[in-house]
Amino acid sequence: MLNQGPLQWMERRKSWRDYTSELIAPKKLEFLQKTFQEIKPPFGNQIGLEIVNFKGDIKPFLTYGFIKGANTFIAGKVSTSSPMNWEDYGWAMEHLILVATGLEIDTCWLGGTFRRTCFSKKLELKKDETIPAVVAIGCGKQQRSFRDQVIRTIAASHTRKLWATLFFENDFSTPLIQTTEEYSTALNMIRLAPSAANRQPWRILKQKDTFHFYLKRSAGYDQHKKADLQRVDMGIAFLHFDWALREFKTEGKWIQETPDVTKPMDMEYIASWKKNS
């Protein structure tokens, strides 16, 4: 049922904000639902995932007008206090987005532009849980609306930061210039990853066969809000990197061991990927 593989899904994935009335085939929804059981975030958080549907007059209010036509969403909940909760949530949701892409279902991440109260009722949210983000799914209108084009232009959705500003080797004064095919591919898949407002907050330091992931926080993305969206972005980057390397039969483990290296003041260490010996 899946079309192509993870690398192609990462390359094909785009955000769609306008949807047709065409329903997703039941077999595809069933396949997506079964995928929930396969998701294993690297830091072990339990993510309560559901496919939810909305009908009638409530739909226009769900996403403050950012999404039109969609009535089906993937939503999830996670503990507000568990370590690495945001990263694991980003990993889990992006896992589903890429599988949806393989099923030729169109998607769009929604972080700060959805009404949590509407989704909280559907997911029976507890006091110590939160919904960091949701994903609209459906059949995207292939002719993008003027509104969608404006949003994409403002977010510069088609642009990516330069390789030399994102990836470094041994220290943060040395851009990563050359590496193996599998590592080069995996890092490029990170460049293709979605992020809130396309800020691309990840910075990665390579030391031999270990890659340290840092967050360079953007102004306006406060970690003390209901969801730390830029840490969700880091989880998305983790997944793209990990899955790309698995396509080359290269496996590793996710750890938290802060490297002994001088980092810029505006960067925060998050986690590392270390190749299996």
For position 52, what pLDDT does the model report?
Answer: 95
pLDDT tens per residue, range 9-23: 999 999 999 999 999
For position 63, what pLDDT does the model report?
Answer: 79
> Which whole-number Å values give the CA distances from 186 to 167, 195, 240, 267, in the listed order?
12, 17, 7, 21
pLDDT band per the 50, 70, 90 thresholds, residue 112: confident
Domain boundary among 149, 180, 208: 149
State which residues form the domain around 188: 163-275
List the CATH number of the domain containing 230.
3.40.109.30
Picking from 85, 87, 97, 80, the residue whose alpha carbon sits closest to that of residue 134 is: 97
pLDDT tens per residue, range 29-63: 999 999 999 999 999 999 999 999 988 655 656 77
Could you list the beta-strand ranges (E) of the chain: 48-53, 72-79, 106-110, 129-130, 134-138, 167-169, 171-175, 202-207, 210-216, 252-255, 267-275
Instruction: Specify whether 168 is located in the same domain as 95.
Output: no
Look up tokens 């700060």; give the residue: 112
List the CATH number of the domain containing 65.
3.40.109.10
Instruction: Specify whether 175 is located in the same domain as 265.
Output: yes
Instruction: Specify whether 134 is located in the same domain as 170.
Output: no
Any idea what the Cα angle at residue 97 is, between residues 124 and 149, rounded to 5°? Answer: 105
Instruction: Specify whether 143 is located in the same domain as 11.
Output: yes
Q: Residue 80 domain-assigned?
A: yes
Q: Say which DSSP state 69 is in.
A: S
Q: Say which DSSP state 18 is in.
A: B
Instruction: Specify whether 173 is located in the same domain as 138.
Output: no
Alpha-carbon distance 98 to 108, whole Å? Answer: 11
- Report the DSSP beta bridge partners of residue 253: 274
pTM: 0.94
Q: Residue 257 domain-assigned?
A: yes
Which amino acid does the sequence have at 277?
S
> Is residue 151 pLDDT above 60, yes or no?
no
Alpha-carbon distance 63 to 58, whole Å? Answer: 10
Instruction: Specify whether 22 is located in the same domain as 108.
Output: yes
For position 88, what pLDDT does the model report?
Answer: 99
Angle between helices 229-246 and 181-191 (to 10 degrees): 150
Instruction: Give 107: exposed, middle or buried? Use CB within 10 Å, 0-12, 13-18, 19+.
Output: buried
Instruction: Specify whether 62 is located in the same domain as 173.
Output: no
pLDDT tens per residue, range 157-179: 568 899 999 999 999 999 999 99
Domain boundary among 102, 126, 149: 149
What count of other Cβ atoms lies within 10 Å of the Cβ of residue 63?
20
- 3-state SS of 118-178 is HHHHHHCCCCCEECCCEEEEECECCCCCHHHHHHHHHHCCCCCCCHHHHEEECEEEEECCC
Instruction: Specify whether 123 is located in the same domain as 173.
Output: no
Instruction: Specify whether 34 is located in the same domain as 101.
Output: yes
Alpha-carbon distance 19 to 157, whole Å? Answer: 18
Mean pLDDT of 64-86: 93
Instruction: Specify whether 137 is located in the same domain as 171.
Output: no
